Chain A
Amino acid sequence: MKMRTHQLGLIASFAATLALAGSALAQGTVRYDAQPGGGHVKIDGTSSVHDWTMESPVIGGFMEVDAGFPESALKGGDAAKPKLEAFIPVRTLKSYNKRMDEVYQEHMEEPKFKRMEYKLTELKPKGDAPKNGKCEFDAVGVLTVHGKAKTLTIPVTIEKVGDKQLKVAGSTPLKMSDFEVKPPNPVIGPAQITTGDEIKVSLDWTVMQK
């Protein structure tokens, strides 16, 4: 019994050391977390009959940046390599047509692949000063969809909103086939619908300090 208490004490002090080390690492950096209602992603696509849209209000993840971000990142260096991880649960994307949502989920192989994930590698500054309060970058990062990862460069704007929030916005064309997602070709009514491979993803995401 005594020995067990001793072991627990050791574990506790080890955990405390780790926590201290963590807070030391975090010094000088500010963490922003995703918040409910703070994100919106929209996917626009085409088909042989008409264009379609899917949307999700759920974007999770966080950013760890230096205190002067995003202006500091315009100068490059470490400030332009903040930690940014974001994800979208696959089934939160809705078209407002239940059958189309089912077709989409089948093709995305949900629940085998539950999330679309993004990890930022680097922000490449576009210009050296904010335009209308927004800093412009080419964001280089890895997007993983349907279990397939692809490095992308996406033009984004980042701005500070008040003292506690950052807003990221951007959009990019993508191909479903790049992520081995077969464009759905459902039979609807008398016609076989063909869905275009190319889609456009638009996103805005506001993260907040806790």
Chain B
Amino acid sequence: MSQNETSLSGFNRRDFLRGGSLATIMTLLGGVPLVAQRPASAAEEKPAGPKVKCAVIGLGAWGREIVSTLLRLPQADLAVICDTYPAYLRRTGNLAPSAKKTEDYKTILDDKEITAVIIATPTHLHKDIALAALSAGKHVYCEAPLANTVEDARAIATAARDAVKQVFQPGLQNRSDPQLHFLVPFIRSGACGNLALARAQWNKKQSWRTTSPNPEKEKQLNWRLDKAISLGLVGEVGIHQIDQAVWFLNKAPKSVLGFGSLINWNDGRDVPDTVQAVFEFPGGVRLGYDATLANSFEAEYEVYYGSDAAVMVRDNNKAWMFKEVDAPLLGWEVYAKKDQFYRDTGISLRADASKQKSILTKPEDDVADQKTPLSYALESFVGNAAEISNAVEDFVSTYGGSDLAAMKKTLGEITLRPGATWKEGYDATVLAIKANEAITRGDKILFQKEWFELA
């Protein structure tokens, strides 16, 4: 019988003890925390107040993923979809038949009914749309990286910082995932011992090329393959994993050393299909980042290696701890769920491993959270947009709208749902831009403090 096998008779002692969380301990001591358990699907939640009217600008593969996710969020009303490419507009229209279609994003900004805009266009096109949307008073979710140049990213971040009455959330979706929020104190508290190094990879055998009807469109659609405007694998994909390391380690890297090669897809592109970067953090910890379009082995994961244990994050942000034989016994891990990875046993690290969950979960449902990080991120964005809009309306109806400093202070006291801030989005974008530069040049770049500052 494997260690993660569970009796079909249902709830058993192991299930009960498995939840070695504070919630379980509190339950055993007689106190149940009054926190709403996250429903398995967003559809179970009944939103308070009217829905937030949203528009999605940019309907490529990720834009369509955003559309699909928004359609499942009870608090979101996807009112408009926008793309300059009619084929994408038609294709997404099939997903969201009730949404209005437009090829001109400016019509969305003129529409007072639309309060929230999600920007998923090619990275180099973010700036104009983000600045116009913020200026039009919209809440903005802007995909990461924010821009392909530091200047553009700085312009967006500055406008976001100054937009007192609006939510600006960069598309670093992992920052909204409760599973990763659960891991942050675990990693930072030293549960892994002395952290020695970290590594992250993204391996996927695919061309990264999109089919197109003519050469002109081919260039537009395959902007990721054009060195002049693309931040390559490290910028377009790696930014999320690099940001995770910065978040977990609670440090900004000092330098990045990069390498890039075109190994497998010699089809006229000038963006490397295989990259490596080493980020050096204060204290000697380094993050090694690898990504390739030539091989799919082990796909995507991150590992943090400490003197007592390694923590691996993979498969939609699930996590496991692998203990060293000489590591001290923490106690709770004796009863924790375990999975076998070749010769190693991984101890499951789950945000929702509480007694309440165990009682309610049938053995066959014993899988980690099915919601995606994107789903959490958009839920936060839409919920925060509604909350800030309401708070602004309440402030103005109570005190008038002239004292912006007081309004900013009042809004700043609201506890928002977790989501990346403009600063986190800006910092991650600068790191990605400079890492791509290092990869392009095959060189080491020392991060300068002023790159991360706004005027």
Contacts and interface: CB of A to CB of B under 8 A. Distances in A.
A100 B34 contact: yes
A37 B395 contact: no
A89 B394 contact: yes
Q: Closest 9 interchain pairs by CB? A: A99-B36, A36-B406, A60-B398, A189-B356, A102-B48, A89-B394, A105-B48, A49-B32, A189-B37
A57 B403 contact: no
A13 B21 CA distance: 73
Contacts of B37: 188-189
Interface stretch (B127-135, B314-322, B409-417): B409-417
A37 B215 CA distance: 60
Contacts of A165: none
A209 B394 CA distance: 22
B330 interface: no
A34 interface: yes
A37 B410 CA distance: 7
Contacts of B46: 102, 106
A181 to B, nearest CB: 15
Nearest to B27: A189
B414 A34 contact: no
28 contacts: A36-B406, A36-B407, A36-B410, A37-B409, A37-B410, A49-B31, A50-B31, A57-B413, A58-B398, A87-B398, A89-B398, A91-B390, A91-B394, A92-B391, A94-B415, A96-B415, A98-B383, A100-B34, A100-B36, A102-B46, A105-B48, A105-B49, A106-B46, A110-B48, A188-B34, A188-B37, A189-B360, A193-B34
A188 B406 contact: no
The size class of the interface chain A forms with chain B is 20 to 34
B446 interface: no
A193 B356 CA distance: 14
Interface in B342-394: 356, 359-360, 383, 390-391, 394
Interface residues of B, number: 31
Interface of B: 31-37, 46-49, 356, 359-360, 383, 390-391, 394-395, 397-399, 403, 406-407, 409-410, 413-415, 417
Interface of A: 34-37, 47, 49-50, 52, 57-60, 87, 89, 91-92, 94, 96-102, 105-106, 110-111, 186, 188-191, 193
Contact of B395 (A58, A96, A189, A190): A58
A186 B32 CA distance: 14
Contact of B359 (A34, A96, A101, A190): A190
Contact of A92 (B359, B394, B409, B417): B394
A35 B399 CA distance: 7
Contact of A58 (B31, B35, B359, B410): B410
Contact of A52 (B31, B34, B395): B34
